[in-house]
Structure 1
Amino acid sequence: MKILPVHLDVFALIILLGVAQGLFLGLFFLTGERGKNLANRCLGWFTLALAAISGEIFLNYSNYTFRALWTVDFSEPINFVIAPLFYFYTFSRIWKRMPRRWLLHLIPFGIWLANAITWFYQPLEFKYNSYLHSQHPEMPYIDAESYLDEDFTGLRGYISEMTLLSCLIYAILSLLAIRKAMRRNPELKSSGQLHSLRVLSWLFALVPLLIILVKPQFQRDVGDYLLATYIAATIYATSFLVMRRSDFFREDKTPEPAADVRKKYERSALSEEIEENLLQKLNRLFDQEKPYLESDLSLPKLAQRLRTSPHHLSQLLNDRLEQSFFDLLATYRVREAQNLLQDSATAHLKIDEIAERVGYNSSSAFHTAFKRLTGQTPAQFRATATSSRSA
Structure 2
Amino acid sequence: MDKINLSVTIAVITMFISLFLSFFLVTVKTEHKLSNRLFAFFLILNAIDISVNLGYFFDIPLNARVFISSIFFLQLPAFYLYVLSVCYADFKLKPKHLIHVSTFLIANLILLPRFYTVSLASKISFLKKSSSMLEIQFNHVLVHIQIILYLIAAFMILRKAKKIYLENYAGASMESLNWLFQFTVALSTFYFIALLKNIFKFTEYPDISESLKIGLFLFELIIIFWYLYKALNNPGLFRNIDSRLKLVADIVSEDKNSAQLIDSEKEYNEDLLKLKSYMMEKRPFLNPSLTIQDVSKDLKIPVRDLSVLINHKLEQHFYDFVNTYRIENAMDILRDVTKSKVTVLEILYEVGFNSKSSFNTAFKKHTGNTPTSYRKSL
Shorter-chain TM-score category? 0.5 to 0.7
Q: 1:217/1:156 Cα in 2 relative to 1: closer, same or farther (>3 Å)?
A: closer
Q: Which amino acid aligns with 2:66?
A: D
Take 1:281 and 1:55, find their aligned partners in 2: how far apart are those partners? 59
Tell me, yes or no, if structure 1 residue 92 matches structure 2 residue 85: yes
Of residues 185, 201, 211, the one that matches 2:194 is: 211
What residue number does 1:158 align with? 138
Of residues 103, 106, 126, the one that matches 1:108 is: 103
TM-score, structure 2 as length reference: 0.54
Q: Would you say the 8 A contact 2:6–2:214 is kept in 1?
A: no
Take 1:315 and 1:157, find their aligned partners in 2: how far apart are those partners? 57
Deviation at 1:9, TM superposition (A): 3.1
Q: 1:130/1:15 Cα in 2 relative to 1: closer, same or farther (>3 Å)?
A: farther
Q: 1:128/1:35 Cα in 2 relative to 1: closer, same or farther (>3 Å)?
A: farther
Q: Which amino acid aligns with 1:309?
A: T
Deviation at 1:90, TM superposition (A): 0.3
Q: Would you say the 8 A contact 2:111–2:135 is kept in 1?
A: no
Tell me, yes or no, if structure 1 residue 195 matches structure 2 residue 178: yes
What residue number does 2:29 align with? 33
Deviation at 1:311, TM superposition (A): 7.6
Tell me, yes or no, if structure 1 residue 16 matches structure 2 residue 16: no
Tell me, yes or no, if structure 1 residue 309 matches structure 2 residue 343: yes
Deviation at 1:207, TM superposition (A): 3.8
Take 2:153 and 2:107, find their aligned partners in 1: how far apart are those partners? 22
Deviation at 1:85, TM superposition (A): 0.7
Take 1:245 and 1:117, find their aligned partners in 2: how far apart are those partners? 46
What residue number does 1:76 align with? 69
TM-score, structure 1 as length reference: 0.52
What residue number does 2:148 align with? 168
Identity %: 16
Take 2:97 and 2:13, find their aligned partners in 1: how far apart are those partners? 32
What residue number does 1:238 align with? 227
Q: 1:282/1:225 Cα in 2 relative to 1: closer, same or farther (>3 Å)?
A: farther
Q: Which amino acid aligns with 1:79?
A: F
Deviation at 1:316, TM superposition (A): 6.9
Take 1:80 and 1:201, find their aligned partners in 2: how far apart are those partners? 17
Q: Would you say the 8 A contact 2:19–2:47 is kept in 1?
A: yes
Deviation at 1:76, TM superposition (A): 2.4
Take 1:123 and 1:228, find their aligned partners in 2: how far apart are those partners? 34
Superposed CA offset, 1:104-140 (max 9, x none): 2222223334456674566555555566667xx9xxx
Relative to structure 2, which stretch is displaced further, 82-91 or 97-106? 97-106
Stretches of structure 1 lacking an aligned partner (at least 5 in a row) = 138-150, 248-278, 291-301, 318-324, 326-391
Give the number of aligned pairs: 252
Take 1:313 and 1:37, find their aligned partners in 2: how far apart are those partners? 34
Q: 1:46/1:35 Cα in 2 relative to 1: closer, same or farther (>3 Å)?
A: farther
Superposition pairs of residues 1-391 of structure 1, within 5 angstroms: 8-31=4-27, 33-34=29-30, 37-57=33-53, 59=54, 63-64=56-57, 67-70=59-62, 71-96=64-89, 97-98=91-92, 101-115=96-110, 119=115, 155-186=135-166, 187=170, 191-219=174-202, 223=210, 224-246=213-235, 284-286=285-287, 309=343, 312=346
Q: Which amino acid aligns with 1:198?
A: F
Higher helix share: 2
SS at the partner of 1:33?
A: coil
Q: Would you say the 8 A contact 2:286–2:350 is kept in 1?
A: no
Deviation at 1:241, TM superposition (A): 2.0
Stretches of structure 2 lacking an aligned partner (at least 5 in a row) = 237-279, 292-325, 335-341, 355-378
SS at the partner of 2:29?
A: helix
Cα RMSD between the aligned structures?
4.4
Q: 1:21/1:123 Cα in 2 relative to 1: closer, same or farther (>3 Å)?
A: farther
Which structure has more RCO (C-alpha within 8 Å, separation ≥ 6)? 2
Take 1:107 and 1:75, find their aligned partners in 2: how far apart are those partners? 16
Q: Which amino acid aligns with 2:233?
A: R
